[in-house]
Chains A and B, each alone.
Chain A
Amino acid sequence: MNDSVTQPNAMPKRQAAFREDFRQRIARFYSGPLHVLMIFGIGIAVIWYSVQHLNNPPWYAWLVIPVVFLVANLFEWWIHRFVMHRPIKGFNNFFMAIYTRHTLAHHQFFTDHEPTVDSNRDFRIVFFPPYALVTFILMAIPPTWILIYAGLPNMGWILMMTSVFLYLNYEFFHYSCHVKDDRLAKHIPFINTIRRHHIAHHDVHIMMEKNFNLTYPFADWLFGTSDLNRGVLGHLFNGYSTAHVKQKQRKIVGASDDPQAGVARAETSPP
């Protein structure tokens, strides 16, 4: 296993300038720990409430868990690839705001040269705002409601608690990708895999095309959007290894300080 998953170069000037400007714009009353506490507090409260409604679930009710895992994994891949990295106009700028916040802010703040936070005020650009979790919970209510009123209440509540768990899983893994000290993270299965996978995604050369999963890189393997060339188990347990990174990848821009960063240009081989 390699000791580092970051590029050895110093932070690009463009990134340093963006960081300085962004930090000046963080509101005075913002608190990183309160931001995280709010997300996990709401999430754990919903999970607790769902568990209270379980009543001797039959064995088949638990089959909801792998189904939700699969759907959530595909959804995470889809929204990251086709909403967070694509400027979609209309809808009262709802999708454009997501694109701006992610591609034009998160990816400028974190690159593969410097992908880590410096203080807990940087949590502002790592974690989603708490209303994203509330939106996700609202999206999980209709299928939960349908299952409950179809006479399958245990399946409904398992669906709700699994959905919220996976949202918290996403936030925790994403934070693990951007945490400064990786002495622990690099030894934990799945977390070490997603940290390398996601930091590679922050390379402006591949960010529009590769590595969209943020929990388990299953959909990236399934749809061929991973930077690795190996099987599904190899993807899930890859860790920090770069032994299977594809040698020929689509080249999108020239340099991190390129003002056209993120604009697709041509198919080329790596230098």
Chain B
Amino acid sequence: MAIAPKKIKRSSASLTGGFVVGFAVIALVLLITSQLGVWQTSTRWIVALILGGVLGTWVRIADL
């Protein structure tokens, strides 16, 4: 009989950390695209929100 995998409760640190990383990535993308002068403001925000959201969520689900 196969052994059932242990149920792991994610740490609260990864939740806080996910938000911290998400906001940091949003800020960095906005600063860098502004420095480079690429894209319109709305495009910068969309890219920043997507990248920040994805990476912040990954920190949470990877339980870092």
Contact surface of A with B, Cβ cutoff 8 Å: 24-27, 29-31, 34-35, 38, 42, 45-46, 48-49, 52, 97, 124, 129-131, 134-135, 137
Contact = CB atoms under 8 A, between A and B. Distances in A.
B31 interface: yes
A13 B14 CA distance: 30
B61 A27 contact: yes
A130 B32 contact: no
B64 interface: yes
Interface of B: 5-6, 8, 10, 13-14, 16-17, 20-21, 24-25, 28, 31-32, 35, 55, 58-59, 61-64
21 contacts: A24-B5, A24-B6, A25-B6, A25-B8, A27-B63, A29-B58, A29-B61, A30-B63, A31-B62, A38-B55, A42-B24, A45-B28, A45-B32, A49-B28, A49-B31, A49-B35, A129-B17, A129-B64, A131-B20, A131-B21, A134-B20
A135 B10 contact: no
A129 B63 CA distance: 9
Contact of B28 (A42, A129, A135): A42
Contact of A27 (B10, B24, B55): B10
A131 B18 CA distance: 8
Contact of A130 (B6, B59, B63): B59
Nearest to B17: A131
Secondary structure at the B interface, as helix, strand, loop or mixed, is helix
Given A24-B5, A38-B21, A129-B17, A48 B32 contact: yes
A130 B21 contact: yes
Contacts of A130: 17, 21, 55, 59, 64
Given A26-B63, A129-B64, A130-B17, 8 more contacts: A31-B62, A42-B21, A42-B24, A42-B28, A49-B32, A131-B16, A131-B59, A134-B20
Q: 10 tightest CB-CB pairs across the interface, nearest first? A: A131-B17, A129-B64, A27-B63, A30-B62, A131-B20, A134-B24, A29-B61, A130-B21, A29-B62, A27-B62
Contacts of B59: 38, 129-131
Contacts of A97: 13
Contacts of A29: 58, 61-62
